[in-house]
Structure 1
Amino acid sequence: MKLNYRVVLLIIATVFGLIFSLPSFTQSSEGKKITLGLDLQGGLHMLLGVKTEEAVNSQIKSIASGVKHFAERNDILIEGISVREGKVVFELLDGDDATTMDEHLKTIEGTVVHASEGKYAISITPEAVEKLKLQAVDQAIETIRNRLDQFGLAEPTVAKQGIDKILVELPGIKTAEEEQRARELISRAAKLELMAVDEDRSMRVNDLSEAEAASYGDRILEDALQPQMKHLVNEIPILDGTMLTDAQVGYDQNNRPVINFSLNSAGAQVFGDFTGKSVGKRLAIVLDGKVYSAPVINERIGGGSGQISGNYTVAEANDLAIALRSGALLAPIYMLEKRSVGPSLGADSIKASLLALVSGFVLVMIFMIMYYGLAGIIANLAVVINIFIILAMMALLGATLTLPGMAGIVLHIGLAVDANIIINERVREQIRLGIGLKRALHEGYSKAMRAILDSNITQIIACTILYVYGTGAIKGFAVTLSMGILASMLTAIVGTYGIFQLFTNRIEKSKNYKMWFGMTRKVNA
């Protein structure tokens, strides 16, 4: 017997499969392992809705804030800037500034400007509204995914469903506390706003109604630490969380957790300009509609940094910092559907799937040995190596194994054996024609190759379509099946051919084709 390159490749593939799949079997702390999906290890399934209309309202306020800052920086006098019925309205006091203001308003994309006798009304176009709603959903998906990644959850699924719905699956969530923390992190808007306190009317805040406050261009917000305490702030923020670049947990002089945040260059400039001309006044730090602090401005604050203090635990401060770093949600989300999959149910699923996998594999092995003899054993060996390669590839790629994924492996066992059946039948046909074994193997594998390639290519195309357009469960099925197909090309076509070449001389000497190929007819060779 002499080793050939096909056998060497099969040995290398076998060693690769064993080494990289072993950590998944032993669950050792070292090495990459396959992550179990929600249906196998338990976890949380949620379907979320997105209030896309709120994204439009936020954009209107952002436009108003930008207009106000532009007017202040260019010494343009405007009055009564506010948001009314989805429009930014204000009055230009000096007609000589109209050209400068008009040029600036033209740079704001997706808006329509109506101006008459110095009175302006800015609205968002219908096309921009629809685009903004779609962006709100896409941004929510990206933001939730970033938060969960920083939270430390392995392989969370965050996918769009329909137009304005989001599917979230969190494997590994086992306790009510973990579930509550994850839900709060996902749903938290984390909308940071720096807002000027209305010093002229703040003393009357408890006597004002929401409508009356709105008539002055103000909002009434409650204090985060003392809900009974109210703050009167200007409706249009000085700046918002879109200018935030970082948020980290720190500690104050009393060793209590706080969140230190930083602003980008544009935010730092706005912040510096406002604090410079507002010395002696208060600036409210607002998070998700609640005032966390309203310190008096003692001097111009440069550098674009600030601090959010509150009655936090370390875990709460960390989660808030994650939410701020990952970005505020453009639109609030709400729960449409929630269900929990317990770890015991996941364990039952694994047992049932393994039973199906093992029993199906054993039956296939018995059939192959009974029908093809030693060739059947070689085919079975190739399938075993194939499975190890699939698991090793999934572990290295960090893929998630789900119930459909296990179904894909079971299905692939049949497909892999099918390739060996085609090969064995073609080889047997050539041997019956009286052709020598070496040529029979060459002709048999060559003729089988065309059918196997056609079949595998069409299956890979189907798997690609399933992966691109399918959801999490379907993707898992497509991944395992496509990996199996690629692995079988190596084991079934290359590996088994190499093993037969290794034993060719022995087979020809023995002439015992029944033992080697399960042939029942006498061969004239």
Structure 2
Amino acid sequence: MKIFNYRLIIFALSIIFGVVFSIPSLMQTDSGKKISLGLDLQGGLHMLLGVNTHEAVTSKIKTIATSVKYFTDDEDILIDSLAIDEESITFTVLDPDELARMDEMLAKIKGLEISKVNTDYTVKLTSEEIERTKDLSVSQAVETIRNRLDQFGLAEPTVVRQGTTDIVVQLPGIKTAEDEKAARELISKPANLELMAIDEVRADQVYTMSEAEASQYGDIILEDTKNAAVKYLVKEIPILSGSQVIDAQVAFDTANQPIINFTLNSSGARIFGDFTGKNVGSRLAVVLDGKVYSAPNIRERIGGGSGQISGGFTVQEAGNVAIALRSGALPASVKLLEKRSVGPSLGADSIKASTIALVSGFIIVFIFMIVYYRRAGIIANIALVTNIFIIISVMAMFGATLTLPGMAGIVLTVGMAVDANVIIGERIRELLKQGVSVPKAIEDGYSNAMRAILDANITTLLVAVILYAYGTGPIKGFAITISIGILASMLTAILGTHGIYEALASKISKDKDLKKWFGVK
């Protein structure tokens, strides 16, 4: 009697794995990896955000102006009256001989509509580029918000686009007002970092100058982040923007106050080094979201592409700003259009209803298999229970989120796992009715059933992959659950039960009571 075989050993290890790693989720222990519950099961925060796409267009115009200024400074091309508004950039090239180089530079930037009268330039975005910029700003906002929430440590937040300008954000587990406030601030914070030159010539006139007067000189007036009464007159076109920041980390200064150290990419480091080298003795304003955090004097050329932001942060504020800088600035501001809190009581009702459906369906299937297939049904039920344990364990190990559709996926997986055992059981019964020996009926039964099982599972798995690739939120949860369930059922229903039958084949042959084992007369 061949009791032990490789199939049975693998199945036994699968049972141990499933039971051990599902205990933290089932018992809700303090230690161990557990399945996270989605918004529909544990409650949380649902928000609808609107993206101000027009700001993205203005921001792109400002970026192009920055490129023009850096190019002309770097190539020693003299220009005058460089100014920007919400839709265009205007400037004058002083030397007509430099027009060719200026045209060549602008031609490299896609989506521009360039008007030139003698040496006067007016640069705008084409209508197609404006629409593309607006569309891209929403997509970028989705990715930026998702990255911020992931780094913030929230379990499986859902961030999806809705329509042309709106974003739906779902945050499971947000139950307190403090958590909600922190999440909303992190989501909506523009984190727009700019390094801007102080207009040293007119700096002392900042308190007597109006915004309109400042714009005549290509300047804007910004407030100090600590004291709104302190103002700075800075050049409107920034030297660098947050898009060139590749890292930001919280640190502490000599007074043990939180600061943020940031690192620039290679092009940003080069621009930063060139600017500081040419402006020793002047001041450089570190501006975050339109407020000046510091304005240190440039004492020497600053190489290496790194800088520092200090502004009386708390540790939590510094951490949130660093997260926002690392994940990228929002291309446009977002506003809260709708907020809805999902209470845990609604989640509890969903869990209760889903659990009743799962347990009742499981019990009905469990009883049917025993009544119809006798001991073969008990073997199938062992595989079925193991299948559920494996699903829970794998989801817990990967930190997956269980949603209401995910629970539906588990219920569906139960049916699919039983379906495989039914096909195998019927093939074995057919062969036994034909007088085939028990060992051969088992081997041929599995062999004959394999194609039908594989076809059904592989096609369902392909559909699940497509759902995961193109679905969002709960649809992804359903796809993940059913994918894990399919793979687990193939392990338990095909390999596991086959190992049990192989170990019991000799005993079944000696017993000769096929009705007791397979429900066959």
TM-score by length of 2: 0.92
Which amino acid is the alignment partner of residue 161 of structure 1? Q
119-128 vs 180-189, which moves further: 119-128
Map residues 208-227 of structure 1 onto 2, 5 A cutoff: 208-227=209-228
Map residues 10-21 of structure 1 onto 2, 5 A cutoff: 10-21=11-22
Match of 2:408 in 1: 407
Map residues 102-501 of structure 1 onto 2, 5 A cutoff: 102-501=103-502
Distance of 1:455 and 1:276 partners within structure 2:
68
Structure 1 residues 271 and 508, CA, compared in 2 at 3 Å: closer, same or farther?
A: closer
Q: Give % identity.
A: 61
Distance of 1:277 and 1:480 partners within structure 2:
59
CA contact (8 A) 2:192 2:329 kept: yes
- Secondary structure of the 2:271 match is helix
Structure 1 residues 85 and 247, CA, compared in 2 at 3 Å: closer, same or farther?
A: closer
Residues 273-297 of structure 1: CA distance to partner in whole angstroms, max 9, x if unpaired?
A: 3334444443322111112233344
TM-score by length of 1: 0.91
Structure 1 residues 502 and 297, CA, compared in 2 at 3 Å: closer, same or farther?
A: closer
Residues 35-77 of structure 1: CA distance to partner in whole angstroms, max 9, x if unpaired?
A: 3222233322223222222122111111111211222222221
Distance of 1:236 and 1:302 partners within structure 2:
22
- Secondary structure of the 2:465 match is helix
- Secondary structure of the 1:423 match is helix
Residues 367-394 of structure 1: CA distance to partner in whole angstroms, max 9, x if unpaired?
A: 2212221111111111011111222222
Structure 1 residues 12 and 104, CA, compared in 2 at 3 Å: closer, same or farther?
A: same
Distance of 2:110 and 2:499 partners within structure 1:
66
Distance of 2:314 and 2:138 partners within structure 1:
31
Structure 1 residues 496 and 301, CA, compared in 2 at 3 Å: closer, same or farther?
A: closer
Deviation at 1:402, TM superposition (A): 1.5
Match of 2:73 in 1: 72
Distance of 1:302 and 1:504 partners within structure 2:
77
Distance of 2:256 and 2:423 partners within structure 1:
73
17-26 vs 376-385, which moves further: 17-26
Residues 242-264 of structure 1: CA distance to partner in whole angstroms, max 9, x if unpaired?
A: 22233222333433222233333
Distance of 2:145 and 2:412 partners within structure 1:
34
- Secondary structure of the 1:254 match is coil
Distance of 2:40 and 2:139 partners within structure 1:
26
Residues 176-200 of structure 1: CA distance to partner in whole angstroms, max 9, x if unpaired?
A: 1111111111111111112223344
Distance of 1:52 and 1:92 partners within structure 2:
32
Match of 2:57 in 1: 56
- Secondary structure of the 2:474 match is helix
Residues 280-325 of structure 1: CA distance to partner in whole angstroms, max 9, x if unpaired?
A: 4433221111122333445544444333222321111111112112
Distance of 2:305 and 2:434 partners within structure 1:
86
Structure 1 residues 482 and 297, CA, compared in 2 at 3 Å: closer, same or farther?
A: closer
Which amino acid is the alignment partner of residue 120 of structure 1? Y
Structure 1 residues 14 and 93, CA, compared in 2 at 3 Å: closer, same or farther?
A: same
Deviation at 1:404, TM superposition (A): 1.2
307-316 vs 20-29, which moves further: 20-29
Match of 1:91 in 2: 92
- Secondary structure of the 1:457 match is helix
Distance of 1:450 and 1:249 partners within structure 2:
58
Structure 1 residues 291 and 445, CA, compared in 2 at 3 Å: closer, same or farther?
A: same
Distance of 1:272 and 1:426 partners within structure 2:
76
Distance of 1:55 and 1:84 partners within structure 2:
13
Deviation at 1:515, TM superposition (A): 1.8
Q: What residue ranges of structure 1 are gaps of 5+ in the alignment?
A: none
Distance of 2:460 and 2:376 partners within structure 1:
25
Structure 1 residues 488 and 214, CA, compared in 2 at 3 Å: closer, same or farther?
A: same
- Secondary structure of the 1:227 match is coil
Which amino acid is the alignment partner of residue 274 of structure 2? D
388-397 vs 475-484, which moves further: 388-397
Distance of 1:92 and 1:7 partners within structure 2:
82
Deviation at 1:456, TM superposition (A): 1.9
Deviation at 1:118, TM superposition (A): 0.8
Structure 1 residues 389 and 304, CA, compared in 2 at 3 Å: closer, same or farther?
A: closer
Structure 1 residues 297 and 453, CA, compared in 2 at 3 Å: closer, same or farther?
A: closer
Which amino acid is the alignment partner of residue 379 of structure 1? A
Structure 1 residues 349 and 95, CA, compared in 2 at 3 Å: closer, same or farther?
A: same
101-110 vs 481-490, which moves further: 101-110
Residues 152-186 of structure 1: CA distance to partner in whole angstroms, max 9, x if unpaired?
A: 22322333334433332222322111111111111
Distance of 1:509 and 1:297 partners within structure 2:
94
Structure 1 residues 481 and 85, CA, compared in 2 at 3 Å: closer, same or farther?
A: closer
CA contact (8 A) 2:58 2:86 kept: no
Deviation at 1:83, TM superposition (A): 0.9
CA contact (8 A) 2:250 2:261 kept: yes
Distance of 2:266 and 2:502 partners within structure 1:
70
Distance of 1:84 and 1:249 partners within structure 2:
35
Distance of 2:324 and 2:361 partners within structure 1:
47
Question: Is 1:35–2:36 an aligned residue pair?
Answer: yes
Match of 1:2 in 2: 2
Match of 1:514 in 2: 515
CA contact (8 A) 2:148 2:187 kept: yes
279-288 vs 61-70, which moves further: 279-288
Distance of 1:201 and 1:84 partners within structure 2:
22
Distance of 1:275 and 1:121 partners within structure 2:
29
Which amino acid is the alignment partner of residue 511 of structure 1? K
Structure 1 residues 511 and 30, CA, compared in 2 at 3 Å: closer, same or farther?
A: same
Deviation at 1:209, TM superposition (A): 4.0
Q: What residue ranges of structure 2 are gaps of 5+ in the alignment?
A: none
